[in-house]
Amino acid sequence: MLHILFLFALLLSSSANAGDFCVANLKGEEGPAGFPCKPAAKVTAEDFAFSGLRMAGNTSNIIKAAVTPSFVAQFPGVNGLGLSLARLDLAPGGVIPMHTHPAASEIIFVLKGKITAGFISSANNVYFKTLKKGEVMVFPQGLLHFQINAGKYGSLAVVSFNSPDPGLQILDFALFGNNLPSELVEQTTFLDDAQVKKLKGVLGGTG
Ligand SMILES: *[C@@H]1O[C@H](CO)[C@@H](O)[C@H](O)[C@H]1NC(C)=O
């Protein structure tokens, strides 16, 4: 009898955790299914709310743009839920350079200003459009895409992903922001040495 009661209690306590949510324990190791769960007894409403998108990101940088993420690393409550958001601020002239999110499709919703956005399919077809306030565009998972401020003033958008950890790789930084020897960059891009050295200088690469 005691054994049965014990089993029942065990089932109840574990299902409260495993069934409803799994707030990330960021100290644990992230696997394909996300982070391990914070003990359910320690979870509070704060774990399911995030105020980090209230403020505009700092656009005083080379791309004149800021992406403020609310991915699992910033917002542990989205762990295991298959979704996340980011805030996109673009100053005049701002651009999010060509990039991919290996783990997620993205949808953008323009709240302010005008944004020219597009992606390139794996057949190298280009799909781009200038989005006005209130308009939405989707970028399929893994494909190269970009966003450019198309207005005179600042633009603001919300982007949503079907992963709590969409990943981000920016093409320019992948090519010119590391120590891959310039000679190899030149051979793989067909750019000349001066162009590669110049881009490495701007984007923080060496070699
Ligand atoms: C924005 O970033 C620039 C460059 O890093 C810095 O000088 C400036 O203080 C930052 N502004 C704010 C409001 O944090």
- The DSSP annotation for 168-183 comes to -EEHHHHHHSS-S-HH
C-alpha of residue 157 to centroid of ligand 1, in Å: 21
Name the burial class of residue 177, with classes exposed (0-12), middle (13-18) and buried (19+) by CB atoms within 10 angstroms of its CB: middle
Query: Which residues have C-beta within 8 Å of that of residue 31, sequence separation ≥ 6?
Result: none
Rounded distance between C-alpha atoms, residue 132 and residue 66, angstroms: 19
pLDDT at 63: 94
Q: Whose C-alpha lies nearest to ligand 1, atom 14?
A: 58
CA distances from 174 to 77, 91, 101, 185 (A): 30, 24, 13, 10
Please say whether the dihedral angle defined by the alpha carbons of residues 22, 25, 28 and 34, taken in this order, is positive or negative: positive
pLDDT at 50: 98
DSSP bridge pairs for 98? none
Buried-state track 153-171, b at ≥16 Cβ within 10 A, e below 16: ebbbbbbbbebbbbebebe
Q: What are phi and psi of 197, to 5 degrees?
A: -65, -40
C-alpha of residue 57 to centroid of ligand 1, in Å: 10
Three-state secondary structure call for residue 6: helix
pLDDT at 192: 97
Rounded distance between C-alpha atoms, residue 154 and residue 140, angstroms: 26
Contact 71, 165 (CB under 8 A): yes
C-alpha of residue 64 to centroid of ligand 1, in Å: 12
C-alpha of residue 136 to centroid of ligand 1, in Å: 30
Ligand 1 pocket: which of 60, 62, 64, 89 to mutate (most atoms within 8 A of CB): 60
Rounded distance between C-alpha atoms, residue 128 and residue 145, angstroms: 9
Q: Whose C-alpha lies nearest to ligand 1, atom 3?
A: 60
- The model carries a pTM of 0.87
**Mean pLDDT per 10-residue section of the chain, whose length is 207 residues:** 51 56 96 93 96 98 96 97 98 97 97 98 98 98 98 98 96 95 96 96 92
pLDDT at 10: 46
C-alpha of residue 90 to centroid of ligand 1, in Å: 15
Query: Which residues have C-beta within 8 Å of that of residue 75, sequence separation ≥ 6?
Result: 50, 52, 84
Q: Whose C-alpha lies nearest to ligand 1, atom 4?
A: 60
Rounded distance between C-alpha atoms, residue 156 and residue 165, angstroms: 22
Nearest atom in ligand 1 to 58's CA: 1
Q: Whose C-alpha lies nearest to ligand 1, atom 12?
A: 58
Within 6 Å (CB) of ligand 1, which residues are found?
A: 58, 60
